[in-house]
Structure 1
């Protein structure tokens, strides 16, 4: 079974590769852009998850 994290990493990998090949010509520029995009997406996803952690995941409980 795939976890959300693995799916996020696979998605970030595919999108980063696509835009790297599309936007840059030299190998050095491609590697730099790939790392920026990949780490930005994975790091941004983890940061967003960390910021949302304190909030409840489900609907509020019944009020007595």
Structure 2
């Protein structure tokens, strides 16, 4: 998983069942390199609202 806060980028490997991360607001993230038996669980404090998300990296950089 690539994490980018607009100032620094970090690759995080979630390659064991006991690994997890919490992604803070205004952190760009890209998920990649899934194994065939991967399970991705996402928890959120609010219901999903498409308008709450930035889908374009250039727009994200302008906002941070």
TM-score (norm 1): 0.19
**Bigger relative CO (Cα 8 Å, ≥ 6 apart):** 2
Task: Flag the structure with higher strand content.
Answer: 2
Q: Give 1 or 2 for the bigger CA radius of gyration.
A: 1
